[in-house]
Chains A and B, each alone.
Chain A
């Protein structure tokens, strides 16, 4: 029986259990005793008792069965085979599994392989039966037990509540564990990378020249993070220089000056900017903005490269305008009218009120919005891949080409790659660095928002 069928059968059983529970509950009402819970809760409780234990068994079984079977099969392999290690053992197990599932192998299987496959198949068969049997027993036991417990005094409502709380905790744990898992896997690979390259050379190195992995370990490239980090910082700063003033003033106009219909029309249009795929921004930068800057630079006697930190930064700034304007707009709108009235009542003009009362009151939220936009800019990839020029050299001229952390990750992980070489592994160290930066930005943002919110209320 397929696993999905099994789960469906269990769900159907729970449905029936629910019906039994409510029916039994209704029959209890006849007496004079006041019911603590309503039939719905009794039904739910019975259904949970019927389904949850069986489902737990199912989960645990699915989790541990392969390991147990594997060791059982390994134990009865001939002694000369039992000494196999790592890769060869894996190949052998694959072959045994293929034979057992009836899929077969390309060459003639050896006798001990056939024997192992036979054993595996019989074990799988009995295991399956045992699992289904124990699930059925548990489901029925749970059902009967719960039905017997039903009484007017039973606090089924609270029990059901507790079960759902556990369910919620489990779900949020999954999200948290995923995050931790991602970080740990990156840490693992990054540590692997640091076996090749000294962390000091990585974090404080000023030259980025990884070479190709084919040139051999004898000529290890130089993995200096600083040129990339500086490129990221420069592009992000340019982006923020564009986005913060424009976004903030847009927000002030939207929140304070625009008539209702303008706001209703303009806000969604601005938010579309955030929905444009970044690759589109990338070729917009490459085809339109870069050449424009180049020719504009020629007109005033400046040598501006078409693909440069400036081009990438400006286009990225346009991309993050809606992050700033939309969030700030919401925050400015939330500043109580009483604040504005207080200021206007003292004889302040509208713009004085906005500058001296509304914006300071909204500042924590605005800072949060800016930091959010900043972490977006730091993590942004496609625009810089296309428009920043990919030149990992440390310099301070925004009119020249730069490379960023994200671009370099793309470069190191595309094409022919060997995941044992530092040339590929460096991507994990870079990713981890990037993650640490955006994480600390977010933490700072949260801290600022909290700190000032207290003062405000």
Chain B
């Protein structure tokens, strides 16, 4: 006898909704109440953000204060401060281009076609050089602008990207040193990693910005901005090193043995066998670390840099727009959201891509 198993017919959309939310009278009541609350909140929000909001600067702050809704005029009037900080008004197009350069560099290095040593080095070298020349000027007829005047989104992006560019390779080195067979190397590395991790980021930034110049000869100290980036990269690498190490521990021992048995050298085993698998294991935690680092860039304000959050404070902080801080913060939150959300979507894409042929 042959058994024929027929799948029950798939329920329609309406039927599915009824089953999920209106199966019993109580459930129906709860669903309706929730729906009403959601509709109310959404309507309030839209009313504030769109219907009763003021979008033009023509009426000035007074028109805003009279209106019931959001005052987006503050953004229209002050967006340049938020995005570019204290950068000279006439030169702000350079800061905008520099932002574009950093974003393009990041996007390019996220594309698998650029994952060869030479291409990635070219992208990063060109990207950072372009950023530096555009921001600092002093050549090609661009007026000189010192690092102390950099600010806003351009500074936030620069600090984040350079932190990762320096911190990530450093993290891999630290993770490899920590699994060294020589106890004095692995222990020392462990001590450094745990030491850095047990300090608050703020104290590290402060040390690098303010204390380090006293300990270093003048020519070595460099500008405060680069010292702060180094400090933040060190902090990033200590956390990321542990993430990478965790990923390495997830690679079975047999993998390295098989590579050894084929005659591969240490660096071939690390580069071709161990790291690709370790990074796949470590990907979710790595994306997490990137997101955290992006948001932690706001801490540089304590050593005197006007990154985007501090520029936002400055945007509403002067007299006439003092009441419109919610709108400014909402705008900055939106900018953060765009970057962080793209980062996590990219992480999800990578996970899908790497899980091809998953065991």
**Do the two chains belong together in a single complex?**
no
Binding site for A on B (CB under 8 A): none
Residues of A within 8 A of B (CB): none
